[in-house]
Amino acid sequence: MNRNEPCWCGSGQKYKRCHLDFDEKIAAFPIDYKKDQCRPPHEIIKTPADIEGIKKAGVINDGALDLIAQNIKAGMDTLTLNDMADAFITKHGGIPACLNYEGYPKSICISINNVVCHGIPSKDTILKDGDIVNVDITTIFNGYFADASRMFMIGNVSPETKKLVEVTRECMELGIAAVKPWHFLGDVGAAIEKHAHQNDYSVVTALGGHGVGKQFHEEPFVNHTGKKDTGMLLVPGMVFTVEPMINMGSYDVFIDADDGWTVYTKDGSLSAQWEKTILVTDTGIEVLAK
């Protein structure tokens, strides 16, 4: 774009006074193709208006997860939690992104014990003492998406199961801590994989994190395993999720043949997941949904 044109980010300033240096820094950044390094495509760099939009969706999404946290307990069916989240999001002017997404039948995902992700809420699924439960909610507000999930432990959970939930949270936080501008996305998977393996757990590789913006799933695909200094260059303005799925047994998974959605561990072992949506900033990261 011309140096004197208004910047693509919508600031109203001339390009040369705004994002020109930034674009030149990306273009000049040394990329090692042997390490699978690549530059981020321009379309996934968010403008200040985009970031404000995602933030607002994140506030509603956080509120829905807080509401679940206050109400979830043994004896409850998971459709009740689905409807609670749906009503909250709708009341605040949002849309539950999962509903009808590629044919998904409910508003949120609730995944219990050996269900890895994409568990479909149902009147017939009753939470019981000792269960570990992932509740994954995505909200659309004003055209922008925000995506997060948390684990909940129902009643008395065994110490070894509690450890899986806690280590998985640490995996997410270590993955997020590895996100630094002008470093590479592979650092995230490397940090997650290291911590999971140190605890004798496995990392699911069939699914990963993803860019978030005006669409549910955008570039980049965020691997939860991998090598440092590989993959996409991280630059300020990128927004994506970190959402490791960690299994007590093997990393192998399969999809329920009947509903086409529910993802299970192949060996029946327990699985946990935590997810946040984050923004890469000039100095580190900012959490947009948690």
In the range 218-257, which residues lie near ligand MF3 by CB under 6 A?
241, 243
Task: Candidates 16, 20, 22, 104: give the one binding ligand MF3 (CB under 6 A).
Answer: 104
Q: For residue 233, which of 20, 36, 38, 24 has the smallest C-alpha distance? A: 38
Distance between CA 31 and CA 270 in Å, rounded?
39
The angle, 0 to 180 degrees and rounded to 10, between the axes of the packed helices 78-91 and 48-71 is: 140
Pick the stretch among 69-77, 130-138, 169-177, 227-235 that binds Co ion (CB under 5 A): 130-138
By CB under 5 A, residue 147 contacts Co ion: yes
Partner from Co ion, ligand MF3, none binding residue 82, C-beta < 5-8 Å depending on class: none
Distance between CA 210 and CA 276 in Å, rounded?
11
By CB under 6 A, residue 187 contacts ligand MF3: no
Q: For residue 208, which of 240, 166, 238 has the smallest C-alpha distance? A: 240
Contact call for residues 249 and 267 (beta carbons, < 8 A): yes
Nearer to ligand MF3, 110 or 235 (CB): 110
In the range 122-141, which residues lie near ligand MF3 by CB under 6 A?
136, 138
Q: For residue 137, which of 147, 151, 122 has the smallest C-alpha distance? A: 147
Lay out the site mask for ligand MF3 across 56-95 (x = CB under 6 A, - = otherwise): ----------------------------------------
Q: For residue 243, which of 117, 142, 132, 122 has the smallest C-alpha distance? A: 117
Binding site for ligand MF3 (CB under 6 A): 98, 101-102, 104, 109, 118, 136, 138, 147, 241, 243, 261, 275
Binding site for Co ion (CB under 5 A): 136, 147, 149, 241, 243, 275
